[in-house]
Amino acid sequence: PAMNIGWIGLGNMGAPMTANLVAAGHRVKGFDLSEPARAAAAAGGVTVVESVADAVADADLIFTMLPAGQHAKAVITGADGVLASAPQTAVVIDSSTIDIDTARELHNAAAGAGFRFLDAPVSGGVSGAAAGTLTFMVGGDADVLDVARPAIEVMAGKIFHCGGPGNGQAAKITNNMMLGICLQATCEGAVLAERLGLDAQTFYQLASVSSGDSWALRTWYPIAGVTDTAAVNRDFEGGFATALLRKDIGLALQAGDTTGTPLAFAQAVSDRLDQLVEKGWENKDCAIMVRLVDGSDGS
Ligand code: NAD
């Protein structure tokens, strides 16, 4: 059955996700601070409104898809925010990638205000958002997930219930930490293979069926012309921004601190992402890490 959905955050991910909900017959009212984001969502059939309160006033489900923890906290718990404006019958779902502590705070704030809440970050990027094949990693009550499931299924390829409050974020942060490390390994391997005189396509083919394989290798191999899905073919435009991977690895390092877990490789990748930001490449795809290996960054 069609649901009334309120959506805050209509950016690179939110716009295509809401377009899929509209296409599936749901009624979506959306709000974003940015005019280009509002226009993109309107083109996808979202009813764009003027405030968080207007977006959530008659909602069955409310999604937030915002940059980081401070934005999610402000939009959800602020005066005139989601909890202050929505009917308590609504289920509130934060799909932003944020720190685990803020996610747990949001669970508590929502419960305190009489709301059901899920942390439900996603993996699969802008292309997965457009295709409706995102992986959702959900923390919170399984019964609450079942209420939201029909809408999530429209946007998802796979849905994993990861446990209690914050566990969706824990899964997402850990996954992206491993992605960053595998990407760095792939960048080093790809450049070394070239310098040893190996044919890039041949090495790619053999590594992808050998023990050096990873999703980063198969999907983002950073030598031009080897695989279509790699950002190197588009001069690292679009894709998964260096700034976002840096944020996610920072969240993993923070979680490493709080759990007393040594994360040496994550720290090394984080340092390299800092260098890329210093070069002004924060909006380039993160596979631009290869430029620090092949020396073509000008250093
Ligand atoms: P984005 O910056 O394109 O979109 C975020 C939107 O939130 C922007 O349009 C911004 O104007 C809006 N916003 C910020 N504060 C607001 C407020 N107070 N009220 C209303 N709107 C506000 O980012 P994105 O790429 O869509 O990513 C969103 C989240 O999803 C991030 O946490 C990111 O880490 C995560 N994510 C991104 C990808 C990806 O490939 N881009 C993949 C998986 C997860």
Q: Is 12 a pocket residue for ligand 1 (Cβ < 6 Å)?
A: yes
Residues of the chain with confidence (pLDDT) below 70 = 298-299
Q: Which residue from 164, 166, 159, 100 is spatially nearest to 124, judged by alpha carbons?
A: 159
Superfamily of 4-164 according to CATH: NAD(P)-binding Rossmann-like Domain (3.40.50.720)
Domain ranges of the chain: 4-164, 170-294
pLDDT tens string 137-173 = 999 999 999 999 999 999 999 999 999 999 999 999 9
Nearest ligand 1 atom to alpha carbon 37:
9
- In this predicted structure, what is the pLDDT of residue 239? 79
Q: What is the pLDDT of residue 125?
A: 82
Atom index in ligand 1 nearest the CA of residue 247 equals: 34
Complex ipTM tops 0.90: yes
CB burial readout 73-100, b (16+ within 10 A) else e: bebbbeeebbbebbeeebbbbbbbbbbb
Instruction: Please pick, among 29, 172, 247, 284, the residue that the annotation labels catalytic.
Output: 172
Which of 13, 123, 175 should be mutated for ligand 1, with most atoms under 8 A from CB?
13
Please state the pTM of the whole predicted model: 0.93
Q: Which fold has domain 170-294?
A: N-(1-d-carboxylethyl)-l-norvaline Dehydrogenase; domain 2 (1.10.1040)
pLDDT digit string (tens) for 125-146?
Answer: 888 899 999 999 999 999 999 9
Q: Tell me what percent of the chain is helix, strand and coil, each rounded to the nearest 5.
A: 55, 15, 30
Closest listed residue to residue 159, CA positions, set 144, 138, 143, 175: 138
